[in-house]
């Protein structure tokens, strides 16, 4: 293997996605042994020579989040100690992006803290997808390539539905910019639901701003966690006269009561991507999962060769 050759590793949260990425690039997934000592401390050992290599480590911050973050940090440190020439943390789902502001007294802006920890551990750059808020990009003091699944999800709706009567819907004013990009990609109008969050898991919906009566509504968001917002948004749209309700999101976290809520919700279909692994017990018939492996593979290839990543979306 030549100096500065590309190597890809995966921690436990994203092995399936990393395997797909490697298949697209025609490369073998690197050997990585993650185990625990008897006192529950993590142990990571790199199984391949990485001296002077261009290395990529794929790991989403999914449940158990703290364990998966520690796996990544220790892996980055091990690669640095093994003299990797450049280390890129590939984080398809950066969950702490939701902790992006000080909206209560005496709390941590944890999205920035994790960004600092990644650099300290040895990451020279970060590759991620659809951060919860664009400003999180600025938390990093290393280069960040920020991919988006909007074109892939828009193409799914374009290929599988009649979009002539569709309207894209933001679940609150904060998501309007994101949904604006989605609606522009499809060439359809958009609407906004007046949402007020009363706690981490509870929201109150008001009026729909925009015309949804008799139309096929597509709720679009960056992630779906407990599905509380999605289900209540669907009920609000139905009450406003929407003919059908669909949903799309990049990160299908689907934790807690999400699957039960979706099973009983008035949602005709839901499309997510595989930035978060969706086990068989969560795969309802109405849920479609798109692979983002081709996009991450193309981005990794471009970073490795020094080409523009932004050109992927032009």
Q: pLDDT tens across 215-270, in order?
A: 999 999 999 999 999 999 999 999 999 999 999 999 999 999 999 999 989 899 99
pLDDT computed for residue 202 by the predictor: 57
Q: How many CB atoms lie within 10 A of CB 274?
A: 21
* CATH at residue 262: 3.40.50.2020
> Is 143 found in the same domain as 155?
no
Indicate whether 110 and 162 sit together in one domain: no
One domain for residues 173 and 227? yes
Spatial neighbors of 308 by CB under 8 A, at least 6 apart, are 302
**DSSP conformation class of 97:** G
How much is the pLDDT for 4? 72
**82 and 126 belong to one structural domain:** yes
Where in the sequence is the domain holding 78, given as residue range(s)?
A: 6-148+293-313
Pick out the chain residues at pLDDT < 70: 1-3, 195-205
Same domain, 67 and 196: no
Q: What's the pLDDT at 17?
A: 98
Can you give the pLDDT at residue 58?
Answer: 98
Residue 1 located in a structural domain: no
Same domain, 170 and 277: yes
Does residue 59 fall inside a structural domain? yes
**How many independent structural domains does the chain possess?**
2
The whole-number pLDDT of residue 197 equals 59
Residues 123 and 37 in one domain: yes
Which pLDDT value is given to residue 195?
Answer: 67
Same domain, 278 and 158: yes
H or E, element range at 209 = strand 203-209
Supply 219's token pair. 């709720």
pTM for the model stands at 0.94
Query: What is the predicted pLDDT for the residue at 134?
Result: 85
CB contact at 8 A, 40 and 49: no
Residue-by-residue DSSP string for 33-80: EEEE-TTS-EEEEE-S--BT-EEEEE----SSHHHHHHHHHHHHHHHH
Output the pLDDT for position 1.
40
Q: Return the structure tokens found at 60.
A: 């989403």
Task: Answer whether residue 285 is part of any domain.
Answer: yes
Please give the positions annotated as active site.
195
Q: Say whether both 103 and 156 belong to one domain.
A: no
Regarding whether 276 and 309 lie in a shared domain, the answer is no
Residue 137 located in a structural domain: yes
Whether 277 and 211 share a structural domain: yes
């Amino acid at each position: 293997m030549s100096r500065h050759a590309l190597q890809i590793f995966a921690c436990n949260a994203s092995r399936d996605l990393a395997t797909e990425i490697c298949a697209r690039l025609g490369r073998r997934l690197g050997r990585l042994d993650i185990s625990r000592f008897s006192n529950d401390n993590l142990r990571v050992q790199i199984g391949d020579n990485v001296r002077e290599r261009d290395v990529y480590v794929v790991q989403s911050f999914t449940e158990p989040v703290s364990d998966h973050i520690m796996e990544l940090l220790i892996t980055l440190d091990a690669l640095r100690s093994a003299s990797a020439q450049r280390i890129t943390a590939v984080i398809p789902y950066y969950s702490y992006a939701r902790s992006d502001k000080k909206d209560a007294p005496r709390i941590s802006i944890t999205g920035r803290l994790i960004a600092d920890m990644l650099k300290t551990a040895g990451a020279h750059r970060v590759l991620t997808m659809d951060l919860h808020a664009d400003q999180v990009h600025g938390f990093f003091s290393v280069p960040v390539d920020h991919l988006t699944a909007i074109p892939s999800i828009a193409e799914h709706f374009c290929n599988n539905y009649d979009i002539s009567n569709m309207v894209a819907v933001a679940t609150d004013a904060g998501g309007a910019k994101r949904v604006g990009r989605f609606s522009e990609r499809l060439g359809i109008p958009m609407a906004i639901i007046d949402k007020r969050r009363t706690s981490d898991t509870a929201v109150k919906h008001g009026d729909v701003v925009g015309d949804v009566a008799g139309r096929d509504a597509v709720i679009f968001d960056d992630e779906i966690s407990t599905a509380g917002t999605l289900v209540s948004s669907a009920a609000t749209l139905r009450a406003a006269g929407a003919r059908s309700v669909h949903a799309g999101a990049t990160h299908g976290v689907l934790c807690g009561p999400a699957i039960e809520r979706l099973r009983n919700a008035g949602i005709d279909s839901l499309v997510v991507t595989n930035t978060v692994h969706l086990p068989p017990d969560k795969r309802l018939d109405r849920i479609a999962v798109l692979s983002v492996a081709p996009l991450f593979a193309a981005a990794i290839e471009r970073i490795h060769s020094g080409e523009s990543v932004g050109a992927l979306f032009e």
